[in-house]
């Protein structure tokens, strides 16, 4: 069995596909189809599976996902969570404030508290017919560390107390390594690891505080099949080299990334995905505007087979289904008709 991480199942699916794959990070928008609530998604694995089944039936997507709930890992460490109607839970306060607190921090086990929900959702998704690619979702090491120590504080600590941050990162990475392994054992073909806070760092600091920790994690999971897909919704083109230092071969970027320029810089076996703005495009635009934005992105990335068209981040619960319809419609049209399907800003198709 090869352990070349470039030949993971996700990259192979993308590079061997006869047409451009579309993979918006969408679990919560399925609530509009199932009638469940956000609180169901983050507490009930069956609600996640039902949401994915509903979206898969509507869009025939090749992948199914567990929900992005980036408070679950911090909660497993002991962070306080705030619940609110209609919104994914948020971490409140600071679990650790100093080095002694970091040293006392007990590393949880995968499956503790609500991390069990995502693992169980993956088990449910694995049972779906048609063998779709099953991708779990979890937070990245720096973003988890930032939730534990406070996001603004973590930013400053990278400059003022790097030893504290590295000690905290060692613990967050230890948990995430076990958690990603647990996703694989639950049946996941891969995991989308979201590292949004790292995109606020300088490229040098991103390499030091994020990529350095992801690299051994990725190497430990490389088995010729399992895909670790690194999502960074704040990274810009100057961050690209530092992100690539993670050694991974599958990346998902947010709206700030110049994807065409990034695709021109990465090796052809590295897959990039992204990056339509989840709020501006999927929540606030009209379907016509979504069609245009999607087509424009498809046109810019046309020369690159190693690209997956996607949202730039996890789609929020209030992303409009009619906009997801428009997104999938134009991807399918372009696959059928090529660039000629590209609508103008004033097109009504």
Partner 1 sequence: MTDLKSLHEAVLNGNAGAAEAITKEALAAGVEPVRLVQDHMMPAMAEVGRRFEAGEYFVPELLLSARAMKRALVILRPLFAATGMPSAGRVVIGTVQGDLHDIGKNLVASILEGGGFEVIDLGTDVSPEAFLASVREKQPHIVAMSALLTTTMPAMRATIEVLQEAGVRDKIKVLVGGAPITQRFSDEIGADGFSESATGAVRLARELVAAA
Identify which of residues 64 and 168 has a Cβ nearer to partner 1 in the complex: 168
State which residue, 78 or 224, has the beta carbon closest to partner 1.
Answer: 78
Q: Of 222-241, which residues contact partner 1 (CB under 8 A)?
A: 236, 238
Q: Is 316 in the site for partner 1 (CB under 8 A)?
A: yes
What distance lies between CA 75 and its chain's CA centroid?
Answer: 19
User: Residue 221: which H helix or E strand, with range?
Assistant: helix 212-221
Report the nearest approach of partner 1 to the CB of residue 283 (Å): 5
- DSSP assignment string, 137-173: EEE-HHHHHHHHH-HHHHHHHHHH-HHHHHHHHHHHH
Q: Which is nearer to partner 1, 43 or 202 (CB)?
A: 202
| Interaction mask 102-141, partner 1, x per CB under 8 A | ----------------------------------------
Return the residues of window 63-92 that contact partner 1 according to CB under 8 A. Answer: 82, 84, 86-87, 90, 92
Q: Quote the least distance from Cβ 129 to partner 1, whole Å.
A: 33
Taking the complex as a whole, how short is the minimal distance between the CB of residue 317 and partner 1, in angstroms?
A: 7
Find the binder of partner 1 among 107, 260, 279, 335 (CB under 8 A): 279
Q: Which stretch binds partner 1 (CB under 8 A): 29-37, 56-64, 152-160, 301-309?
A: 152-160
Stretch that binds partner 1, among 124-132, 279-287, 291-299, 328-336 (CB under 8 A): 279-287
Concatenated DSSP letters of 35-86: ---HHHHTT-HHHHHHHHHHHHHHH--SEEE----TTHHHHHHT-EEEEETT
Task: Give residue 268's Cα distance to chain centre.
Answer: 21
Provide the minimum distance between the beta carbon of 313 and partner 1 in the complex, in angstroms, as a whole number.
Answer: 9
From residue 248, give the alpha-carbon distance in Å to each of 7, 19, 217, 223: 11, 24, 10, 13
CA angle 92, 115, 172 (to 5 degrees): 65
- For every residue of 236-298, which 3-state class applies, written as one string? CHHHHHHHHCCCCCEEEECCCCCHHHHHHHCCCCCEEEEEECHHHHHHCCCHHHHHHHHHHHH
Does 280 engage in binding with partner 1 (CB under 8 A)?
yes
Beta pairing, strands 87-92 & 80-84: antiparallel
Least distance (Å) between residue 13 CB and partner 1: 30
Which range of residues in 95-103, 135-143, 148-156, 221-229 is near partner 1 by CB under 8 A? 148-156
Residue of the chain from 17, 46, 100, 159 that contacts partner 1 (CB under 8 A): 159
134: three-class secondary structure by DSSP = strand
Spatial contact of 293 and 275, defined as CB atoms under 8 Å apart: no
Least Å from the CB of residue 233 to partner 1: 9
Tell whether residue 205 is a contact of partner 1 (CB under 8 A). yes
CB closer to partner 1, 53 vs 207: 207
* Residue 8 vs residues 4, 11, 14, 137, 180: alpha-carbon distances, Å: 8, 6, 10, 17, 15
By the rule CB under 8 A, 220 interacts with partner 1: no
What distance in Å separates the CA atoms of residue 102 and residue 249, rounded to the nearest whole number? 32
Q: CB-based contacts of 219: which residues, under 8 Å, 6+ apart?
A: 5, 247
Does the protein bind partner 1 through residue 201 (CB under 8 A)?
yes
Select from 129-137, 176-184, 200-208, 323-331 the region that touches partner 1 (CB under 8 A). 200-208
Residues that bind partner 1 (CB under 8 A): 82, 84, 86-87, 90, 92, 151-152, 155-156, 158-160, 200-202, 205, 236, 238, 278-280, 283-284, 316-319
């Amino acid at each position: 069995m090869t352990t070349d991480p470039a030949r993971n199942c996700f990259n192979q699916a993308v590079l061997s596909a006869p047409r451009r794959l579309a993979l918006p990070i969408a679990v919560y928008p399925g609530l509009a189809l199932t009638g469940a609530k956000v609180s169901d998604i983050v507490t009930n694995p069956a609600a996640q599976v039902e949401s994915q089944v509903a979206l898969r039936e509507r869009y025939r997507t090749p992948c199914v996902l567990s929900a992005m709930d980036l408070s679950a890992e911090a909660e497993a460490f002991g962070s306080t969570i705030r619940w609110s109607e209609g919104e994914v839970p948020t971490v409140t306060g600071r679990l650790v404030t100093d080095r002694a607190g970091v040293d006392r921090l007990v590393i949880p086990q995968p499956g503790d508290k609500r991390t069990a929900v995502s693992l169980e959702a993956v088990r449910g998704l694995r049972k779906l017919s048609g063998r779709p690619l099953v991708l779990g979702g979890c937070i990245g090491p720096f973003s988890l560390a930032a939730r534990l120590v406070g996001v603004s504080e973590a930013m400053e600590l990278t400059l003022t107390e790097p030893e504290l941050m590295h000690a905290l990162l060692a613990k967050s990475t230890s948990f995430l390594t076990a958690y990603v392994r647990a996703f694989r054992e639950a049946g996941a073909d891969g995991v989308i690891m979201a590292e949004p806070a790292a995109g606020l760092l300088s490229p040098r600091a991103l390499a030091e505080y994020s990529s350095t920790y992801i690299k051994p994690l990725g190497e430990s999971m490389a088995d010729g099949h399992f895909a670790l897909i690194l999502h960074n919704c704040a990274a810009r083109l100057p961050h690209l080299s530092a992100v690539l230092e993670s050694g991974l071969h599958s990346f998902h970027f947010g709206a700030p990334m110049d994807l065409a320029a990034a695709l021109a810089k990465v090796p052809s076996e590295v897959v990039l995905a992204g990056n339509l703005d989840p709020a501006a495009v999927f929540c606030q635009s009209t379907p016509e505007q979504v069609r245009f934005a999607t087509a424009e992105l498809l046109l810019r990335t046309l020369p690159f087979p190693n690209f997956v068209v996607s949202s730039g981040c996890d789609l929020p619960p209030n992303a409009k289904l009619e906009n997801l319809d428009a997104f999938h419609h134009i991807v399918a049209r372009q696959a059928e008709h090529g660039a000629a399907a590209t609508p103008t800003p004033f097109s009504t198709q």
